[in-house]
Amino acid sequence: MEKPTFRQIALYASVFAALLAFPLFVKGTFPMHVMIMTFMFAMLGVAWNILGGYAAMFSFGQAAFFGIGAYTSTILLMNYNVNPWAGLLAGGMLAALTGAAIGIPCSNLRGHYFAIASIAFAEIVRIHFNNWKFVAAAEGLSLPFLPSSLRNFMFQSSKTPYYYIMLAFLVLSLLLCRYLSTNRMGYYLRAIKESHEIAKGMGISFVRYRLYAIMISAFLTAMAGTFYAQYILYIDPDSVLILPISIQIVLVAMLGGAGTIMGPVIGAAILLPLSEYTRVWLGYKGTGVDMMIYGALIMVISAYQPQGVWGFLTSIGRRAK
């Protein structure tokens, strides 16, 4: 990975400045919500990338970690008065442990096999939460209203603080991703992606590094889950543990360009406004038109432009040189 050029730094800086200024100019709650969801899914996409983009562990079960994060911090808050930030850490660790636990039986699986195993795993989690009285099963949990403060990770009257928190989470994830990809972990994961044989031959314990990747990805995904709970203030299995969430995460990463750092950001920037606005304009009657467009988009992109937008842009860039 080369050092970023001045032009690239200027580009990133101006985009970041624009994002910082956004809430000052746009006050509507729906646009703010769309931006927050975009940031959240970008972060989820970055977390997925560590697994799927770098190590070719195509997880279609990220929703499980998302849900574990959301439920852990919420239960800790509701039942034991644990501060949501501590709950965030707890949720992350629990998700990481769960990821490691499922990672071991799946350590030899690649490609399609890993994908199916991840779906099976996530479904088990969803079914369990759907029937588990301790977490109110299918009824879901409503978070208690706490006085608005950063400490309480809750803001009653405005979306703006949530906006900045999620943006901060996203930036942190991107920095982490960049760090991993430019250091040993990134190289090792890409070797593992090439083949387990080659990894073994270079002294890489592919089992161990795959587990690291799952745990990091799970932790980040769970963080977003806690955020979601603190933001929406209501969670149930159908809103945090379902397969469509997992698929959306994969699409965000793939559309933007799997295996690139900024890919998920671009993917989220395209996909989230699209899905949120089409849902509002076309889907509110339950007609499903928004999802039809979504499905068609997926079919076309995967068949005709699988490298995603980032791949498309860089190939233009290469040709321009």
State the residues that interact with another protein by CB under 8 A: 52, 56, 58, 60, 102, 105-106, 108-109, 111-113, 115-117, 119-121, 123-124, 127-128, 130-131, 182-184, 187-188, 190-191, 194-195, 197-206, 243, 247, 250-251, 254, 258-259, 286-289, 291-292, 294-304, 306-307
Least Cβ distance, residue 284 to another protein (angstroms): 13
- For residue 314 the two structure tokens come to 């860089």
Q: Which is nearer to another protein, 84 or 186 (CB)?
A: 186
Q: Which is nearer to another protein, 17 or 300 (CB)?
A: 300
Q: Which is nearer to another protein, 156 or 183 (CB)?
A: 183
Least Cβ distance, residue 242 to another protein (angstroms): 10
Least Cβ distance, residue 142 to another protein (angstroms): 23
In whole angstroms, how far apart are CA 134 and each of 78, 97, 130, 139?
12, 20, 10, 11
- For residue 307 the two structure tokens come to 């490298």
Q: How far is Cα 253 from Cα 249, in angstroms, rounded to an integer?
A: 6
Least Cβ distance, residue 11 to another protein (angstroms): 23
Helix axes 6-25, 160-182, angle to 10 degrees: 160
Least Cβ distance, residue 210 to another protein (angstroms): 12
**What is the number of other CB atoms lying within 10 angstroms of the CB of residue 300?**
10
Least Cβ distance, residue 110 to another protein (angstroms): 9
Evaluate whether 117 touches 106 at the Cβ level (below 8 Å).
Answer: yes
The answer for residues whose C-beta is within 8 angstroms of residue 172's C-beta and 6 or more apart is: none
The torsion angles phi and psi of 105, rounded to 5 degrees, stand at -65, -20
**What is the number of other CB atoms lying within 10 angstroms of the CB of residue 151?**
11
Q: How far is Cα 244 from Cα 241, in angstroms, rounded to an integer?
A: 9
Q: How far is Cα 297 from Cα 295, in angstroms, rounded to an integer?
A: 5
Q: How far is Cα 243 from Cα 65, in angstroms, rounded to an integer?
A: 12
Q: Which is nearer to another protein, 13 or 138 (CB)?
A: 138
- For residue 145 the two structure tokens come to 């209203």
**What is the number of other CB atoms lying within 10 angstroms of the CB of residue 134?**
9
Q: How far is Cα 137 from Cα 148, in angstroms, rounded to an integer?
A: 28
- For residue 107 the two structure tokens come to 């350590």
Q: Which is nearer to another protein, 65 or 188 (CB)?
A: 188
Least Cβ distance, residue 31 to another protein (angstroms): 25
Least Cβ distance, residue 80 to another protein (angstroms): 27
Q: Which is nearer to another protein, 303 or 316 (CB)?
A: 303
Q: Which is nearer to another protein, 108 or 156 (CB)?
A: 108
Q: Which is nearer to another protein, 14 or 182 (CB)?
A: 182
Q: Which is nearer to another protein, 42 or 117 (CB)?
A: 117
Q: Is 171 left (phi over 0), alpha (psi -120 to 50) or beta?
A: alpha
Least Cβ distance, residue 93 to another protein (angstroms): 22
